[in-house]
Amino acid sequence: MTPAKIKKEVFHVVETYLHTPKTEKDPSAENLVRKIGKNDSFIYNHEIRTYAGNQRIMKKRQIGAREYIEMIEAQKLQGLKELKKFR
């Protein structure tokens, strides 16, 4: 329980894992889009995670709402995995 004197804000995070074709070069690559915000105001990110040896390499970029929706719509038939968080 948060004390009354401390201001608390809740952010909603939705991570949607997109279909990533597995290759022999990198079978563990992850492709996801993230929606973060509150009160109907959101920012959107596209992230690709790859692994080289024991290191994780993340390529992240901010995208617009239209591109976010297009990426999800293009993947609908593939069976999306969606993760919802409250922070």
Residue 81's identity, in one-letter code, is: K
Task: Report how far residue 20's alpha carbon sits from residue 68's, in angstroms, rounded to the nearest whole number.
Answer: 16
pLDDT recorded at residue 68: 94
Q: What is the per-residue pLDDT for 66?
A: 96
The neighbour count for residue 41, using CB atoms within 10 Å, is: 7
According to the model, what pLDDT value does residue 76 have? 67
pLDDT score of 42 = 95
Strand-strand pairing, 55-63 and 41-52: antiparallel
Domains in the chain: boundaries: 12-86
The predicted pLDDT at position 61 comes to 96
State the 10-residue block means of pLDDT for the chain, 87 residues long: 80 86 66 91 93 87 95 73 77
Q: Locate 26 and state its tokens.
A: 């990198």
